[in-house]
Amino acid sequence: MGSLYQGYTQYQTQKTQAKQAEINAQHAAEVGAQRAEAEKVRRETERGDQNESYRRRRAQQEASYARSGVLLDGTPSAYLTEQAETDELSVQRQDQASEQKRIGYLYQGLSQSVDYQNQADAYKYSSNASLISSPFNASSASSRSGSK
148 by DSSP, 3-state: which? coil
Indicate the helix (H) or strand (E) that contains 127: helix 75-146
Q: State how far the Cα of 129 lies from the Cα of 126, in Å rounded to an integer.
A: 5
Confidence band, pLDDT 50/70/90 cuts, at residue 69: confident
pLDDT band at 139 (very low <50, low <70, confident <90, very high): low
| Separation of alpha carbons 112 and 118, rounded Å | 10
> What does the pLDDT read at residue 135?
60
Higher per-residue confidence, 134 vs 63: 63
pLDDT at position 148 over 50: no
Spatial contact of 29 and 111, defined as CB atoms under 8 Å apart: no
Does residue 58 contact residue 83 with C-beta atoms inside 8 Å?
Answer: yes
C-alpha 137/C-alpha 142 separation (Å) is 9
Give the confidence band of 53 by pLDDT, cuts at 50, 70, 90: very high
pTM strictly above 0.85: no
**Dist. CA 125–CA 71, nearest whole Å:** 79
Count of C-beta atoms within a 10 Å radius of residue 31: 15
Looking at residue 65, its pLDDT comes to 85
At 136, the pLDDT band (50, 70, 90 cuts) reads low
Q: What's residue 16's pLDDT?
A: 92
